[in-house]
């Protein structure tokens, strides 16, 4: 048996491995320093953990936005409250410049290796601020998104929380497709008119069996106006779930 010749390509590959090991194989998307594992360096991921630890402080108890001089409830929730069906919103990260970069890398640049880090941080926030026995309900992706981009951030996050951290994930919501709405007959169309989110088959089944959980945790990535979260919470509350908390990776002030 002849040995395969050691080519220049093998040498290059070997040299790359050594160089990667010595100097890192990429740049941290937050600070630009070299990193060995993926897109974020150790000191930046530590910073992320520390910030997540305190991101709930001085936040509105209803919407999770920063309080300026108010106590407990922010001005906009006092004046025109959008979130009527959620019990509380827990923000995971402060919405600052470097955190925004991370969100952009994750969502737009398809940096899936950030998912595990986000899931780990979510897990520690859920354990501390909510409950480790909570049922997780993901905000469903736009129809066709998985087909076109190959993955959905919230779905992946929930999947890691389920597989790695043992949470129970219930896909209780569905997002209606525009074309789908066109196909519905008039009566149905009127009843679902303007609704982006609807009950999933699972929600219908659990509710008919009377086996819906008392309390769930809705998970989303960014809360801006709160309209998305409110419409999801409304469906869950109408179905008979008595407590709906929300975990949002970011809350835009
Ligand atoms: Zn860094
Ligand atoms: Zn508020």
Ligand closest to the CA atom of residue 38: 1
Confidence at residue 227, expressed as pLDDT on a 0 to 100 scale: 92
* Number of other CB atoms surrounding residue 184 within 10 Å: 14
Q: How far is the CA of 21 from the centre of ligand 1 (A)?
A: 17
Alpha-helical runs (H) found in the chain = 8-23, 42-54, 75-79, 97-107, 114-129, 145-149, 153-163, 178-183, 186-191, 201-208, 227-238
Q: How far is the CA of 40 from the centre of ligand 1 (A)?
A: 5
Task: Copy the structure tokens of residue 40.
Answer: 């974020």
Confidence at residue 110, expressed as pLDDT on a 0 to 100 scale: 82
Residue 192 to residues 27, 107, 183, 196: CA-CA distances in angstroms?
Answer: 47, 29, 12, 8
Asked if 40 contacts 29 with a C-beta cutoff of 8 angstroms, the reply is yes
Q: How far is the CA of 32 from the centre of ligand 1 (A)?
A: 6
CA distance 203 to 172: 5
Task: Copy the structure tokens of residue 170.
Answer: 């219930």
Q: How far is the CA of 158 from the centre of ligand 1 (A)?
A: 25
Q: How far is the CA of 140 from the centre of ligand 2 (A)?
A: 24
Condensed to tens digits (0 to 9), the pLDDT of residues 115-161 reads 988 999 999 999 999 998 999 999 998 888 777 888 899 999 999 99
Q: How far is the CA of 103 from the centre of ligand 1 (A)?
A: 14
Residues with CB under 5 A from ligand 2 (ion): 60, 62-63, 74, 77
CA distance 231 to 244: 12
Q: How far is the CA of 88 from the centre of ligand 2 (A)?
A: 10
Confidence at residue 180, expressed as pLDDT on a 0 to 100 scale: 54
State the Cα angle at 44 between 110 and 102, rounded to 5°. 25
Q: Which residues contact 253 (CB under 8 A, 6 or more apart)?
A: 65, 66, 95
Place of tokens 């859920």: 126
Ligand closest to the CA atom of residue 24: 1
The greatest distance separating any two alpha carbons of the chain, rounded to the nearest whole angstrom, comes to 82
Ligand closest to the CA atom of residue 83: 2
Q: Domains of the chain (ranges plus CATH)?
A: 94-253 (3.40.50)
Residue 212 to residues 67, 110, 137, 209, 237: CA-CA distances in angstroms?
Answer: 34, 34, 12, 8, 11
Confidence at residue 167, expressed as pLDDT on a 0 to 100 scale: 97
> What stretches in the chain show pLDDT beneath 50?
1, 181, 192
Ligand closest to the CA atom of residue 27: 1
Q: How far is the CA of 45 from the centre of ligand 1 (A)?
A: 7
């Amino acid at each position: 048996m002849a040995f395969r010749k050691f080519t220049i390509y093998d040498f290059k590959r070997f040299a790359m491995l050594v160089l990667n090991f010595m100097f890192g194989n990429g740049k941290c998307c937050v600070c630009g320093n070299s990193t060995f594992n993926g897109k974020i360096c150790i000191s930046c991921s530590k910073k992320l953990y520390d910030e997540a630890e305190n991101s709930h402080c001085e936040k509105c108890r209803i919407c999770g936005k920063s309080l300026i001089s108010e106590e407990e409830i922010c001005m906009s929730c006092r004046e025109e409250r959008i979130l009527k069906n959620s019990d509380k919103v827990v923000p995971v990260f402060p919405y600052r410049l470097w955190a925004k970069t991370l969100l952009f890398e994750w969502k737009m640049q398809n940096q899936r290796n950030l998912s595990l880090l986000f899931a780990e941080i979510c897990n520690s926030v859920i354990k501390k601020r909510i409950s480790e026995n909570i049922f997780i309900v993901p905000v469903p992706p736009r129809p066709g998104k998985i087909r076109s981009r190959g993955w959905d951030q919230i779905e992946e996050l929930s999947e890691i929380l389920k597989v790695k951290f043992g949470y129970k994930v219930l896909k209780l919501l569905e997002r209606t497709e525009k074309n789908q709405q066109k196909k519905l007959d008039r009566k149905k169309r009127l009843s679902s008119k303007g609704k982006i989110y609807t009950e999933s088959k699972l929600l219908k089944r659990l509710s008919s069996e009377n086996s819906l959980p008392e309390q769930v945790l809705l998970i989303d990535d960014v809360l801006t106006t709160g309209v998305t979260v409110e419409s999801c919470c409304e469906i869950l509350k109408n179905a008979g779930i008595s407590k709906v908390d929300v975990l949002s990776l970011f809350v835009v002030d």
